[in-house]
């Protein structure tokens, strides 16, 4: 089983279970966005964590094994021309699907506006080296049927 196939089974099992991504993250004692991204195939999940998720969601052993595999992350060749731009592409490739899941879980069916939108860059001191803090602040736009 591939990580992509496992992710689809995780999505379906999460909905069947009635658990939120936040509840799963709490149960496995991991950060919310990391947990969501990992269960969607973007990180290898440690064995004990994969087993716990398997029990929580009623997943079979093939899914639990696939969660533990190292993902293949393919960079966008156009982004590779600049290291800073590449890191944004990499971050969104890894965390974009998780952020989408979390936005839909929190707000419902819709998108974050890039028109009614603010972005900010700040420096935060850290003993291990200063941190870059990028904030995207977009209005939620719900789909109206």
Q: Say whether pLDDT at 80 is over 80.
A: no
Q: Which CATH class is domain 1-93?
A: mainly alpha
pLDDT of residue 75: 67
DSSP 3-state assignment of 141?
A: strand
CATH 1.10.260.40 positions along the chain are: 1-93
109-142 is classed in which CATH architecture?
Answer: 2-Layer Sandwich (3.30)
User: Under 8 Å CB-to-CB from 10, ≥6 apart: which residues?
Assistant: 39, 40, 53, 57, 59, 63, 67
Question: Above 80 in pLDDT, residue 74?
Answer: no
Percent of the chain predicted with pLDDT > 70: 99
pTM: 0.81
Confidence check: pLDDT of 82 > 90: no
Q: Where in the chain is the domain with CATH 3.30.1160.10?
A: 109-142
Query: Where in the sequence numbering do the catalytic residues fall?
Result: 87, 90, 113
């Amino acid at each position: 089983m591939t990580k992509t196939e496992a992710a689809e089974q995780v999505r379906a099992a999460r909905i069947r279970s009635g658990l939120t991504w936040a509840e799963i993250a709490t149960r496995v004692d991991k950060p919310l966005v990391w947990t969501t991204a990992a269960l969607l195939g973007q990180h290898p999940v440690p064995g004990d964590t994969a087993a716990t998720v398997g029990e929580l969601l009623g997943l079979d052993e093939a899914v639990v094994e696939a969660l533990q595999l190292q993902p293949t992350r393919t960079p966008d060749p156009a982004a590779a021309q600049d290291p800073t731009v590449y890191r944004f592409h990499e971050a969104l490739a890894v965390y974009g699907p998780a952020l989408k899941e979390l936005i839909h879980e929190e707000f419902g069916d819709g998108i974050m506006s890039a028109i009614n939108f603010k972005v900010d860059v700040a420096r935060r001191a850290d003993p291990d080296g200063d941190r870059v803090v990028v904030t995207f602040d977009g209005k939620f736009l719900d789909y109206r049927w």
